């Protein structure tokens, strides 16, 4: 959530930033916030004035009673009662203005960093780096969904039988390969200084509001109505919410956490080639890295996170490129976002496998996540960051397609110690 201070002091910059993100009705939303704030402050001033007057009158009542001037004292008591009644009405006005202002603030996205390029959609994203070598596959190369079926590694039909489309069943070596990837990603995160946590897979409404999934993306989340809990779309939500309503010490920053979790996404409205095979699932596994940092260091943290994710792709021997997302393609909460995409050789297309974002103080303001300066003990909002490191389904799709042979799929060397075999095939091992 944008801070009221930022909106009040840099109104035009906020509006321009929201327009860069293609947020409809930017000026109207900002003006509503400022109007509710003015009403709130004016009402607060009236309340303060009333309180002062009540205190003055109350002191007079005592003196008048001592002097035996009961009628005058009673008259002043009536005036005090009227002021108290007015207080109640003013309090209601102020509380409503505060609620209305907060409701509007929750609908306003974060504003983009100056380095975010202009643009409306994914076609305007900017490639900032490329790496790896695209494989030269034979003309009869298969897409991953055919390879998975050929070597009996994933059964999509059984997943439909058990649950529905988008919930595949992993079999034999592929189940072990999934665990190998998870362990590899977690080990690499630990080597980079991230403390591993195992979070809950469901969260309450406050957690969803804290990281910005609610109210913006509630239609994309699975909701357990009876308990009013949400299945997590990413471990970012529970891990970042560890620090909700916390005041951290400056010397403890940056805080670095990582977590493996299953992720659940309704993906409403998805269709076509994007949902074939492992390209888009309702349930998938992912390792997430999260940082809490002070503002002046958060972009150095972002660079370190980008290097970490790039290092994973290099070790997996995957061709990749890094995109800086344009204003119109960024998420609701991010101030800047980089997507990592890997080349899927048989599909001949790029597949997104990671997003790494700096939210600056936007999430922290919702979370009330702050830190205390070591010198003057001043308390300030933190910056929050997170990134996929990495999401499994499309990583698996690219590995399967890029490393296919007639006998099976070659396992990247770095993963062999984790899974205990060199080829993904239907042979029992």
Annotated binding residues for ATP: 265-267, 352-355
Q: Extract the tokens encoding 22.
A: 């293609």
Give the CB-side neighbour count of residue 130, counting CA atoms within 13 A: 6
| Residue stretches of the annotated binding site for L-serine | 234, 265, 288, 386
Can you tell me the distance from the alpha carbon of 168 to that of 270, in angstroms, rounded to the nearest whole number?
17
- DSSP per position, 216-274: TTGGGS-EETTTTEEE-SSTHHHHHHTTTT-EEEGGGPSEEEEEEEEEE---TT--GGG
The continuous run of DSSP H or E covering 355 comes out as strand 349-360
Residues 6+ positions from 307 with CB-CB distance below 8 Å: none
Other CB atoms within 10 A of residue 275 CB: 15
Other CB atoms within 10 A of residue 48 CB: 11
The continuous run of DSSP H or E covering 39 comes out as helix 26-66
Can you tell me the distance from the alpha carbon of 183 to that of 188, in angstroms, rounded to the nearest whole number?
9
| Residue stretches of the annotated binding site | 234, 265-267, 288, 352-355, 386
Q: Extract the tokens encoding 306.
A: 């980008």
Q: Extract the tokens encoding 75.
A: 């008259």
Can you tell me the distance from the alpha carbon of 111 to that of 397, in angstroms, rounded to the nearest whole number?
34
β-pairing, 247-249 vs 370-372, is parallel
Of 409, 425, 350, nearest to 151 by C-alpha is 425
């Amino acid at each position: 959530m944008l801070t009221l201070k930022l909106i009040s002091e840099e109104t035009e910059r906020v509006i321009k930033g929201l327009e860069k993100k293609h947020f409809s009705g930017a000026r109207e939303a900002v003006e509503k916030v400022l109007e509710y704030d003015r009403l709130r402050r004016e009402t607060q001033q009236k309340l303060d004035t009333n309180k002062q007057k009540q205190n003055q009158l109350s002191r007079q009542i005592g003196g008048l009673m001592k002097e035996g001037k009961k009628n005058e004292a009673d008259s002043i008591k009536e005036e005090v009662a009227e002021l108290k009644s007015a207080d109640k009405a003013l309090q209601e006005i102020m509380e409503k203005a505060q609620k209305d202002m907060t409701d509007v603030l929750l609908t306003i996205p974060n504003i983009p960093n100056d380095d975010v390029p202009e643009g409306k959609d994914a076609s305007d994203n900017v490639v900032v780096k490329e790496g790896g070598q695209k494989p030269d596959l034979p003309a009869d190369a298969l897409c991953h969904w055919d390879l998975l079926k050929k070597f009996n590694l994933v059964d999509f039909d059984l997943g439909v039988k058990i649950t529905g489309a988008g919930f595949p069943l992993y079999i034999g070596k592929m189940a072990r390969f999934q665990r190998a990837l998870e362990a590899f990603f977690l080990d690499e995160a630990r080597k980079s200084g991230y403390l591993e946590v195992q979070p809950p897979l469901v969260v309450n409404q406050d957690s969803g509001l804290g990281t910005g999934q609610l109210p913006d993306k509630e239609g994309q989340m699975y909701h357990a109505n009876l308990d009013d809990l949400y299945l997590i779309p990413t471990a970012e939500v529970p891990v970042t919410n560890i620090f909700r309503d916390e005041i951290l010490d400056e010397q403890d920053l940056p805080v670095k956490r990582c977590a493996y979790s299953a992720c659940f996404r309704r993906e409403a409205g998805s269709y076509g080639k994007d949902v074939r095979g492992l390209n888009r699932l309702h349930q998938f596994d992912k390792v997430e890295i999260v940082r809490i940092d002070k503002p002046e260091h958060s972009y150095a943290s972002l660079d370190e996170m980008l290097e970490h994710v790039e290092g994973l792709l290099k070790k997996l021997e995957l061709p990749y490129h890094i995109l800086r997302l344009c204003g119109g393609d960024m998420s609701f909460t991010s101030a800047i976002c980089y997507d990592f995409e890997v080349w899927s050789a048989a599909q001949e297309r790029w597949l997104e496998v990671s997003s790494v974002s700096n939210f600056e103080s936007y999430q922290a303001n919702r979370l009330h996540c702050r830190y205390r300066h070591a010198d003057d003990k001043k308390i300030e909002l933190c910056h929050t960051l997170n990134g996929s490191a990495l999401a499994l389904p499309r990583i698996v799709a690219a590995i399967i397609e890029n490393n296919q042979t007639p006998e099976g799929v070659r396992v990247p060397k770095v993963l062999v110690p984790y899974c205990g075999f060199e080829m993904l095939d239907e042979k029992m091992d």
